[in-house]
Amino acid sequence: MKLKKWFGAVLSLLLVVAMAVGMVACAPEGSEGEAKEPCESHPTEKLVAKEIEGDNNSHQVFCTECNNNVKKAFHNYKAEGNDMVCSDCGHKCTHASTTYSVSEDYLHHYQACTACYKKLTEDEDHTMVNGTCSKCGTTQDTLDQHDVNNTTWELLGNGAGMMGSNNWTSGNGKRLKKVEGDTDKAYITGNMYAGDLFKVHDSDSDAWIGFDNVTTESQTLVVKDNDNYGGWNIKVLQDGNYTINFTLSSKSIAIVRNGDPKGVKDYYLVGCVDGDTMFGKDTRKYQLTESTTTPGIWTVDYTVTAKDCPTNWPDGVDGYAKFALWETNETKNIVDGTQMWVAPGEYTFAYNGSVLQAFPKDTPESEFTFNEWFLVGKLNIDRWEGMSADLAFTKSAEGVYTFTYDFASGYEFKIRNGKTYLGFDSISPAPTGFAAKSDSDTNIVCNTAGKYTITVTTTGSAPSLKIEAAAAD
């Protein structure tokens, strides 16, 4: 009896084992069973793509031979109706991330998905800021190269003018534009300087047109240069703004000087740039560019970091960086009235011909408001040498500017507008709590601490000051 029971138990166990082996043997290909030792070389026919939840860029490649993940791979998006679907794993793109792409004609941009590259918006006009589109990065030079109004003829040469420095490479020049209504004429206008060399070049045929084709009337403005770059160069005699008129059929060049160079000032931001504490050093690294929409405004972007703010200024301001403009064609290179102190941050430095000011980066030019009067002096920290936005007066009426400040006893100061300083002799009536510093050139010194409002009035024959106790908050 016991033998039968034992035999029956063994038989049942064998049956269970056999069923289990049969199930494993019959498991379908591609099922995720227990991972085996990875294949030495995963057979291509055994690889399948599996969608990764939430991943719009890639899917998982899985080997059904060894049940191991092999790698991640980018989705292979194909259009299916209005959708973009990965042909490998079936994932439908969510367009979670977009960027601006440039249109085929380069003259517009649009928003596209960064994963499937589908165009999501209609073409939009570029938003040009200082010669570069603020959204897609297209430069004015690129637009000029692809402008349908441009010809294949270009200005190549060497110099400080519009042809560029040592720029003799076909296709890299400034394109001549078609003259409306005259298919035989083209022109280009820009600044050129004494000593600049140039030729007119056809980027299609590689034809070069030089001095021998300059009209007789134009030869008072230029001379022939045979000593450089293959000869027959056209050499400019005088700085100026020029128009080069080119006749396509005769290949003749007529040159007109329109006047002095336009829109060009060699302004550079100098001071504590890149942590260089040698203020006034001629680095000439960050050049300001004149606005194409607001002539007379020059700008450059710069991010002030802690490394730009030294803590060992002999007259210094810990935690601030000091900047000014350098103008290369001035005997005194630092432009008077442009020294300023700036705390760390991302800025657009802008200059309007009299005041250098730092605006938060990406501030539209239409919203630039240049302060005119500033408090400078020995205050809670030494602020003599530059103007600071936090010490700027507010224009309260035409010709009237005010600023309220909490003075401590002993603070010494003046009011400044660029190169102009107003001191104690400009105050009327005589203020209470302030006096002229005896050993200075009319510096104002505070004798009675308190919050005071200073008013600058410029409507009279000379600017005047008034200092009075500030109204209660």
- % of the chain surpassing 70 pLDDT: 80
Q: What is the pLDDT of residue 85?
A: 94
Instruction: Please indicate whether the domains covering 149-259 and 371-473 agree at the CATH topology level.
Output: yes
Given a cut of 70, whether residue 263 has pLDDT beyond it is no
Given a cut of 50, whether residue 27 has pLDDT beyond it is no
The domain ranges of the chain are: 44-86, 98-142, 149-259, 265-369, 371-473
**What are the pLDDT digits (tens) for 161-187?**
888 777 888 877 888 888 888 889 999
**What are the pLDDT digits (tens) for 357-403?**
888 988 888 888 887 788 988 887 666 756 777 788 988 888 899 99
User: Among 12-21, 113-122, 174-183, 259-268, which is the least confidently predicted range?
Assistant: 12-21
Per-residue HEC secondary structure of the chain comes to CHHHHHHHHHHHHHHHHHHHHHHHHCCCCCCCCCCCCCCCCCCHHHEEEECCCCCCCEEEEEECCCCEEEEEEECCEEEECCEEEECCCCCECCCCCEEEEECCCCCEEEEEECCCCCECCCCEECCEECCEECCCCCEHHHHHHHCCCEEEEEEEEECCCCCCCCECCCCCCEEEEEECCEEEEEEEEEEECCCCEEEEEECCCCCEECHHHECHHHHHCEEEECCCCCCCEEEECCCEEEEEEEECCCCEEEEEEEECCCCCCCEEEEECHHHCCCCCCCCCCEECEECCCCCCCEEEEEEECHHHCCCCCCCCCCCCEEEEEEECCCCCCECCCCCEEECCEEEEEEECCCCEEEEECCCCHHHCCCCCCEEEEECCCECCCCECHHHECEEEECCEEEEEEEECCCCEEEEEECCEEECHHHECCCCCCEEECCCCCCCEEECCCEEEEEEEECCCCCCEEEEEECCCC
Fold of 371-473: Immunoglobulin-like (2.60.40)
Q: What is the pLDDT of residue 92?
A: 93
Q: What is the mean pLDDT of the chain?
A: 80
More reliable by pLDDT, 265 or 258:
258
Domain 149-259 sits in CATH at 2.60.40.3620
Given a cut of 80, whether residue 279 has pLDDT beyond it is no
